[in-house]
A and B are shown apart, each in its own frame.
Chain A
Amino acid sequence: MSLALIALMSVFVISLVIWLLILFLSVTEGIEKNWLGRLTSLNAPLRITPTEEYYRSYYHLIDEHSYASGYEKKTFHEKLTSKLTDPYDASIDSELPLYIPKPVKGSRGEVIDYAKEVQKSLSSIPPSLTEIKAHDYQLAGALLRLTLARKPIDQPYSLLPSLHFLTQAAYVNSIPMDKGPLHSLITKPEASDINHLIYLANTGGINSSEDVPDSMERLEKPLAERLLPIFNNIHIKSYKTEGRFSLPQEVIEDPIVAFARKTRGEIFYFMIPSSVDAKIPEGDFAKGVIKKYDDHLIFTENGSTNAVRVDITAPLLLAQPVTFSGEIDHVSLLEAAQLTDVLISAKIPLQDQMFQTVIPWKEITISEVEIENQFSRPPECAPLWAYFVENNLVLNEGGILLPIHFREQGCFIGDSGFFSFGKTSPLMVSEQRKRVYTSGFYDPGVISTGVRYILTSRDVVSSISSKEESLVIDPLIANGFQIWFDDTMKASEVADFLKQDFKNRGIDQYFSITPFYEYDFAKDLIGQFQSDRDLFMLIGVIILLVAICNIITLLLLLVHDKKTEIGIFLSLGASKLKISTIFALAGVILGGISVLIGSCLAFVTLKNIDALVWLLNKLEGRDAFNAAFYGSKLPNEFSVLAFTFIAIAAPLLSLGAGLIPAIKACMLRPSQILRSE
């Protein structure tokens, strides 16, 4: 009986350890996968960049000396779209300087077009290896300066915003507009963005910046035109009142509970509580009931029989913010000269009553909203945020996508500013500016440089990088090709294929092919992932070993308990091998059962990880898992790798544990046992 109890305890402890191990390994593997996914979404699992040899080549240098190229160097994008591989025309262009090498020619005497050869090589990757998506990217360096125009807290009615500035030295990266993994990083606009856009449209806060893109410069336009790109692309589910929201007096048909603010016996305004049993706020307030008559209000204080007549214009402020539903009156929106002209047919829940009334848009924010950013065809009134038409990304002119960290710094969609770049001479800095505004945010993952990558259209990057010396960006990475594919683990195979193909095409010395695990900024992170995993595996094995010591104890007790039986079996002709096999097998069976129970528990837990997170949050009284590190949701995919590791390691260790009592059983001397009994 006691042995059975110990066996049960052993199985319980090992199952618990296995449950924990699989759970932790699955979650950490999921987190690693997420991070790696975000890393390779932003930077692609494979990158092809030109070498110094490329920059010294005729193919690259010749554009600066050719009329056909406008005497300007070309990016890969321009090279790919150019019809001329060799733009030099000796009859028009001046004689080439001596440092320009001779062009490299193919077997038929034509100048080899490196960019197009890369493109051909990429198309030759067999689908059996992987399906790829390639994008020729451009990277530029610039200083981003954003103006954050906000409603002044101390002057709520002021149309003049308070201004803050945010400056960041940034990498400006071109984002492919057709469907790509980068799109998955773009986050949806939030209600706070919409409220901010409405504020900007109403106050012209955006114009307080000296540089605002044309697409945002709308104060000259009627308010309706400024609001329609917002309201046409959202569906408001609920609104919330702000501090000075006043309930229209005409809604009072039945008496409602109110706190009257009295000064020298005279009532100036009322505070309307959400519930009838609300406590009196601090200050000179009297609790009572108000009732509306034709042209005035009557206030009767609790415990008093005297009713006080109050002017109908006395404001009815809400004591607490209230969330309510409503419909915007479209006609009022089209005719609005200012935001307060926009009317809402509202249903306001107060004191267990539903007040239906039409209220102006004043001291109201959007609480919950559905924001359209996926369209099947171009929208009639384009939204101000980044959106998709079918699978293609659309950024308005000057639109940029900021890393999500900017949101934490208080940025909203609509915040505008400029990229500053230019040429530095010994005498002065010639600064140029490109006006931009925040179209959206994306999640760059955890790479240290992620916070500095700003995504935008190729035009914006080109306008910065065409200036010779902007912020210093290594030319070896400023322009190149990014190659995406689903299974990032195939990066090495794809790189090998391309290296061989480049060699066959004679362009291998002009390009370097870098898989993600060799990126400078990712090496440390990936190494850290590996170390963490190894360390946790080691800790796991140690914990498992400790747990498995239970099996050793149990089976040693069993050997001791059953030594007479062992002696009898030996005397009846059982071999020592058979006897020891029984104990070794017992260890394996106990380990196997534990693996089964632990794995099933882990599977169920992972499927219900949200409940576990909720419980931990409750216990800790705060978010137990930081979203920046773990992602918005803990990964819950069952790790096959972890299970395989456990399913092999646990029974093997159990077998090892079973061998110790097995040896002990072998060493028993049946002659002594049977005689002494």
Chain B
Amino acid sequence: MKDSANVLFEAENICKTFTYPETVELLKNISLYVNKGESVSITGPSGSGKSTILSILGTLDKADSGKLYLFGKALPKRNFAKIRNENIGFIYQNHNLLDEYTVLDNLLIKAQIGRKSISKNSESYQLALSLLEGMNLLHRKDFSAKLLSGGEKARVSIARAFMNDPEIILADEPTGNLDFEAASLVQTLLLETCKDLGKSLIVVTHDLDFAKRCSRSYIISNGHLTEQ
């Protein structure tokens, strides 16, 4: 249920058309919202535009039209970098970790980009340690990211998304590459961490069970988004 006073993030009348290699109107006047602390799933067939809508919500891509609101305020038309750094955490199917960096550095880099202190006594450093502990990865903090298993990488990716204390986590098929057991663990960790830290979550997934575990679900089909 939309509770206007509690809406954290909202997209209104988003349209996106791709013109190459052929013109495809992928998103047609899509609107969605997520309340503070709420988890929302978006499901739909492949190529329906799930990831595209997530990229637009995460300001990595631009919509042809439509507006985005954070805490009821429209996002500016430029300088999204700061918003991404402070308010949004991304989780990807292939984790997108910096392989040459250690696990801990993969977390701290986000703080560093935001010009925050990453010294051992800093808030960011302590947050990184506690997130790794929460993901049961503290013992791996000095490992190079490329040496981790798929499940571990997924957990590091989740931990990194929570760095800088963002308001919303955007997850694109976070368990797509994992076996059932690992996927279940990651889903639980993600949902529980969001719940524990009071963060909102929008997750794009093919996994209907995972979608069901979210507070609300949207389905995208033929460019239209429908809430279930």
**Residues of A near any B CB (own CB < 8 A):** 564-565, 567-576, 578, 669-671, 674-675, 677
Say yes or no: A573-B51 contact (C-beta < 8 A), given A671-B60, A677-B96: no
Q: A565-B98, A570-B60 are in contact. List 14 more A-B contacts (CB 8 A).
A: A564-B96, A568-B98, A570-B81, A571-B84, A571-B90, A572-B90, A572-B109, A572-B110, A572-B160, A573-B83, A574-B81, A575-B81, A578-B81, A675-B172
Q: Which residues of A contact B160 (CB under 8 A)?
A: 572
Q: Which residues of A contact B79 (CB under 8 A)?
A: 575
Say yes or no: A573-B85 contact (C-beta < 8 A), given A565-B98, A568-B96: yes
In the assembled complex, B94 has its CB within 8 A of some CB on chain A? yes
B78 to chain A, nearest CB (A): 10
Q: Which residues of A contact B90 (CB under 8 A)?
A: 571-572, 674
Q: Which residues of B contact A571 (CB under 8 A)?
A: 58, 60, 84, 90, 96
How far does the alpha carbon of A569 sit from the alpha carbon of B90 in the complex, in Å? 11
Q: Which residues of B contact A573 (CB under 8 A)?
A: 81-86, 110, 113-114, 164
In the assembled complex, B9 has its CB within 8 A of some CB on chain A? no
Q: Indicate if the CB atoms of B81 and A675 lie closer than 8 Å.
A: no
Q: Which residues of B contact A576 (CB under 8 A)?
A: 81
Say yes or no: A569-B113 contact (C-beta < 8 A), given A671-B55, A671-B60: yes
Q: Indicate if the CB atoms of A574 and B58 lie closer than 8 Å.
A: no
- Residues facing A in B53-85 (CB within 8 A) are 55, 58, 60-61, 79, 81-85
Kindly identify which residue among A574, A578, A677 contacts B94, using a CB–CB cutoff of 8 Å. A677
Closest chain B residue to A569, Cβ basis:
B113
Q: Indicate if the CB atoms of B113 and A674 lie closer than 8 Å.
A: no
Question: What are the 8 closest A-B residue pairs judged by CB atoms, nearest first?
Answer: A573-B85, A671-B55, A575-B81, A671-B60, A671-B61, A573-B84, A572-B110, A571-B90
How far does the alpha carbon of A671 sit from the alpha carbon of B109 in the complex, in Å? 19
Q: Which residues of A contact B109 (CB under 8 A)?
A: 569, 572
Q: Which residues of B contact A669 (CB under 8 A)?
A: 60-61
Q: Enumerate 25 A-B pairs (CB-CB under 8 Å) in ascending A order.
A: A564-B96, A565-B98, A567-B96, A568-B97, A568-B98, A569-B109, A569-B113, A570-B60, A571-B84, A571-B90, A572-B160, A573-B85, A573-B86, A573-B164, A574-B81, A575-B79, A670-B60, A671-B60, A674-B90, A674-B92, A674-B94, A675-B51, A675-B92, A677-B94, A677-B96
Q: Which residues of B contact A677 (CB under 8 A)?
A: 92, 94, 96
Q: Which residues of B contact A572 (CB under 8 A)?
A: 84-85, 90, 109-110, 113, 160
How far does the alpha carbon of A575 sit from the alpha carbon of B160 in the complex, in Å? 18
Q: Which residues of A contact B92 (CB under 8 A)?
A: 674-675, 677
How far does the alpha carbon of A333 sit from the alpha carbon of B110 in the complex, in Å? 98
Closest chain A residue to B90, Cβ basis:
A571
Q: Indicate if the CB atoms of A671 and B81 lie closer than 8 Å.
A: no
> Which of B61, B79, B86 is most buried by chain A, counting CB atoms within 10 A of its CB?
B61
In the assembled complex, B52 has its CB within 8 A of some CB on chain A? yes
- Residues facing A in B16-74 (CB within 8 A) are 51-52, 55, 58, 60-61
Q: Indicate if the CB atoms of B61 and A674 lie closer than 8 Å.
A: no
Q: Which residues of B contact A578 (CB under 8 A)?
A: 81, 113
How far does the alpha carbon of A629 sit from the alpha carbon of B110 in the complex, in Å? 65
**Residues of B near any A CB (own CB < 8 A):** 51-52, 55, 58, 60-61, 79, 81-86, 90, 92, 94, 96-98, 109-110, 113-114, 160, 164, 172
How far does the alpha carbon of A486 sit from the alpha carbon of B111 in the complex, in Å? 63
How far does the alpha carbon of A677 sit from the alpha carbon of B84 in the complex, in Å? 20
How far does the alpha carbon of A573 sit from the alpha carbon of B110 in the complex, in Å? 7
Closest chain A residue to B173, Cβ basis:
A675
A275 to chain B, nearest CB (A): 72
How far does the alpha carbon of A291 sit from the alpha carbon of B110 in the complex, in Å? 101
Q: Which residues of A contact B85 (CB under 8 A)?
A: 572-574
A542 to chain B, nearest CB (A): 38
How far does the alpha carbon of A669 sit from the alpha carbon of B20 in the complex, in Å? 14
Closest chain B residue to A671, Cβ basis:
B55
Q: Which residues of B contact A568 (CB under 8 A)?
A: 96-98
How far does the alpha carbon of A677 sit from the alpha carbon of B61 in the complex, in Å? 17
Q: Indicate if the CB atoms of A671 and B52 lie closer than 8 Å.
A: yes
B81 to chain A, nearest CB (A): 4
Closest chain B residue to A673, Cβ basis:
B96
Closest chain B residue to A565, Cβ basis:
B98
How far does the alpha carbon of A569 sit from the alpha carbon of B97 in the complex, in Å? 10
A666 to chain B, nearest CB (A): 12
How far does the alpha carbon of A569 sit from the alpha carbon of B98 in the complex, in Å? 9
How far does the alpha carbon of A328 sit from the alpha carbon of B135 in the complex, in Å? 104
Q: Which residues of B contact A564 (CB under 8 A)?
A: 96
Q: Which residues of A contact B110 (CB under 8 A)?
A: 572-573
How far does the alpha carbon of A675 sit from the alpha carbon of B51 in the complex, in Å? 8
A433 to chain B, nearest CB (A): 92
B54 to chain A, nearest CB (A): 8
How far does the alpha carbon of A671 sit from the alpha carbon of B81 in the complex, in Å? 14
A333 to chain B, nearest CB (A): 88
How far does the alpha carbon of A496 sit from the alpha carbon of B172 in the complex, in Å? 79
Q: Which residues of A contact B94 (CB under 8 A)?
A: 674, 677
Q: Which residues of A contact B172 (CB under 8 A)?
A: 675
How far does the alpha carbon of A561 sit from the alpha carbon of B179 in the complex, in Å? 30
B85 to chain A, nearest CB (A): 2
> Which of A567, A570, A574, A671 is most buried by chain B, counting CB atoms within 10 A of its CB?
A671
Closest chain A residue to B51, Cβ basis:
A675
How far does the alpha carbon of A565 sit from the alpha carbon of B82 in the complex, in Å? 18
How far does the alpha carbon of A573 sit from the alpha carbon of B90 in the complex, in Å? 10
Q: Which residues of A contact B51 (CB under 8 A)?
A: 671, 675
How far does the alpha carbon of A578 sit from the alpha carbon of B84 in the complex, in Å? 14
Q: Which residues of A contact B55 (CB under 8 A)?
A: 671, 675
How far does the alpha carbon of A1 sit from the alpha carbon of B79 in the complex, in Å? 35
How far does the alpha carbon of A572 sit from the alpha carbon of B161 in the complex, in Å? 9
Closest chain A residue to B56, Cβ basis:
A671
B150 to chain A, nearest CB (A): 14
Q: Which residues of A contact B114 (CB under 8 A)?
A: 573
Q: Which residues of A contact B164 (CB under 8 A)?
A: 573
How far does the alpha carbon of A570 sit from the alpha carbon of B98 in the complex, in Å? 13
B69 to chain A, nearest CB (A): 20
How far does the alpha carbon of A674 sit from the alpha carbon of B93 in the complex, in Å? 9
Q: Which residues of B contact A570 (CB under 8 A)?
A: 60, 81, 84
How far does the alpha carbon of A566 sit from the alpha carbon of B60 in the complex, in Å? 12
How far does the alpha carbon of A677 sit from the alpha carbon of B160 in the complex, in Å? 18
Closest chain B residue to A670, Cβ basis:
B60
Q: Which residues of B contact A675 (CB under 8 A)?
A: 51, 55, 92, 172
A565 to chain B, nearest CB (A): 6
How far does the alpha carbon of A195 sit from the alpha carbon of B81 in the complex, in Å? 88
Closest chain A residue to B58, Cβ basis:
A571
How far does the alpha carbon of A580 sit from the alpha carbon of B141 in the complex, in Å? 30
Closest chain A residue to B83, Cβ basis:
A573
B103 to chain A, nearest CB (A): 15
A667 to chain B, nearest CB (A): 13
Q: Which residues of A contact B86 (CB under 8 A)?
A: 573
Closest chain B residue to A574, Cβ basis:
B113
How far does the alpha carbon of A574 sit from the alpha carbon of B112 in the complex, in Å? 10
How far does the alpha carbon of A571 sit from the alpha carbon of B157 in the complex, in Å? 12
A219 to chain B, nearest CB (A): 95
How far does the alpha carbon of A578 sit from the alpha carbon of B110 in the complex, in Å? 14
B41 to chain A, nearest CB (A): 18
